[in-house]
Structure 1
Amino acid sequence: MRRIAVVDPLPVFRVGMAAVLGDEYTVDTPDDVLTWAVAVDRPLVMLTLWSTQSWATLTALAELPAVLVVALLDEVTVAAAVRAAALGAVGVLDRAAPGPHIRRAVHAAVDGAAILPQRILAALAAELAPELDASSWEPPSDTQLRWLRELAAGSTVAHIAADAGYSERAMFRLLQSLYAQLGVRSRTEALMKAQQRGWLRT
């Protein structure tokens, strides 16, 4: 059963989230979510962004391979949601979202998709529109497309590296080069562009 960490300052919220998700997932409430994420296979983190430290935690989690983060906000503003997505969150939810919305966001993240409020998606699209019209980036090769599809399916960098015959460190460098080639700064942005371009369809 897939394990989910719930990181929130209120114990009662963590208990409630466990009740919402506990029938389908193993829910943990680790004191040190970064150590937890390194130790767990295919970790997913429900992270409430309430402080400077929580935003730093989001940044640190996004740098770990194969970690999925759904950000929870007390007030889902365009600025906060775009910032969360830019830092690596694969979904953004209102912290007061009902149980079915929470489950839907988790299922989407596990399936390689993302759930964002519609106004947030519109803001992201507007921000990316000039880039999508630019011709300064080079389309990915067949091998690079395979890597993107594997990332979208939840494969770890270590797994992709082993399949391709590279070390994990070399694969990280190759992926960073791919992101730069596509004119993006992160795995999340690369997968967003790949989805928009239809590259993730096999």
Structure 2
Amino acid sequence: MDAPSKEFALAGSLEELKIKGRLVLRGGHRPILVIYDRGRLFALDNRCPHMGFPLERGTVEDGILTCHWHHARFDLESGCTFDLWADDVPICPVEVRNGDVWVKTTFTQADPAAHWHQRLADGLAHDLGLVIAKAIHGQLAAGVPRTEIVRQVALFGVQNRDGWGVGLTILTALANLLPMLPEEQAYLALFHGARRVAADCDGEAPRRERAPLG
């Protein structure tokens, strides 16, 4: 059998993991939690995406991992959260080779720009500051132009509120300043504008396009 690539790290033997139930290994940028549950293996970021609490201290039941700090719940297979305020936890591939468990030590998406575009849409729709902040950071890291992020937020604002709100005014003003701002300040400007737009639209009826009469 082919040897694992350099992207994978040895977590331990399968028998050891069956006995312990879980273990933590050093990842490329963050610790990785490996869990054996009901005959299956899962690997995910050991830091709770909400506020960083070690998920190794959590509880696993029926394929659901619960963080013991604020009780956020995550699906082991997908990493998706049952509690929107917590955000999803990143997962990574696991392989069993010759009785040993190998884990890919980096967390990546096939299309990072598309992934974070959708996460920003989710954050805006539910007015979740943490999700909005992480999504904007992710889009910038994926090379998405600042103007495209402004466009996404502005379209959300005009489609999900009847009338022009304060948030869109703030977003427009900050967008005019973006070309002059350094990276860190540009990120803060984008987040502040997006968060105000989301707050304006929270609980409002969305606007729907209508065909002319006739």
Q: Which has the higher strand share?
A: 2
Q: Which has the higher helix share?
A: 1
TM-score by length of 2: 0.31
TM-score by length of 1: 0.32
